[in-house]
Amino acid sequence: MFMSDYNIAIEVDARGSFCPGPMMELIKAIRQAEVGEFLSLLSSEPGTRNDVPAWITKAKHDLVEVIYEDGYDRYIVKKLH
């Protein structure tokens, strides 16, 4: 899918931030979002590739897609509950 296919409610740009910055920004955004909304997290921290999928599984949300951009990753997350 393309980015434009998602109706992103909150985009968090955590590029340049070290762990745990991106993870904590995502968690803050999840708290703010409504159930069913899509969020986008931008991270250049390599550790995020491991941490975000693990947290999404634990928290029972949906990691819809990871898009590998130039120098950073874009995580598309759907809040499920």
Residues of this chain that interact with another protein (CB under 8 A) are 16-21, 23-24, 27, 30-31, 47, 50-51, 54-55, 58-60
Q: Tell me which residues are annotated as active site.
A: 19
Kindly tell me which of 4 and 58 has the beta carbon lying closer to another protein: 58
Q: Report d(CA 80, CA 71) in Å as an integer.
A: 29
**Nearest-approach distance from CB 1 to another protein, in angstroms:** 27
Name the pairing type of β-strands 8-13 and 38-43.
Answer: parallel
**Residue 12 CA: distances (Å) to CA of 8, 42, 69:** 10, 6, 15
Kindly tell me which of 36 and 53 has the beta carbon lying closer to another protein: 53
